[in-house]
Each structure stands twice: as structure tokens, then as C-alpha cells.
């Protein structure tokens, strides 16, 4: 079976740069922009664990399984 892959998106205008997702992601998917906001720099490493979505206080991270890959 092919490895699952995910889209990871941060709604930047809602992100308050708390860094929780950056620190909690087990696969180091996020970097921080100069203003501290999270940027999904390595979505190809996402395993879809949902930790970022669960812990983001502003519900601005979304991960979605890609279809047909």
C-alpha cells in the first residue's frame, strides 16, 4: 500500500505565533516565519497524527489526507 500523504495548512492571519504546533509536531513539519507564525515547511513528512490541530488554540492548522496517491 502506498504511503499516505497529507496537506498541511496554517491560516496565517489567525495564527498567534504561540509555537505549540512547532514544538509538538513529532515530524518537525513546521518552521517559524520571522514574525513567529507557523509555516508548514515540510508537509511531505506529516503522518496525520492530528496533534497540531488538536493543540492549536486558534484552530488555524488543518491537515487533510491527500486522495489518490
Distance of CA 27 to the CA centre of its chain: 10
67 Cβ contact list (under 8 Å, min separation 6): none
- Closest contact distance (angstroms) between CB of 67 and ligand SF4 is 17
d(CA 28, CA 33): 14
Q: What is the footprint of ligand SF4 within residues 6-65 (CB under 6 A)?
A: 8, 10, 15-21, 25-27, 29, 37-38, 46-52, 56-58, 60-61, 63
Footprint of ligand SF4 (CB under 6 A): 8, 10, 15-21, 25-27, 29, 37-38, 46-52, 56-58, 60-61, 63
Amino acid at each position: 500500500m502506498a504511503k499516505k500523504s497529507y496537506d498541511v495548512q496554517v491560516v496565517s492571519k489567525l495564527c498567534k505565533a504561540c509555537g505549540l504546533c512547532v514544538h509538538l509536531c513529532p515530524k518537525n513539519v513546521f518552521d517559524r516565519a520571522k514574525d513567529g507564525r507557523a509555516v508548514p515547511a515540510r508537509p511531505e513528512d506529516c503522518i496525520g497524527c492530528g496533534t497540531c490541530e488538536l493543540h492549536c488554540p486558534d484552530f488555524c492548522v488543518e491537515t487533510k489526507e491527500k486522495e489518490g496517491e
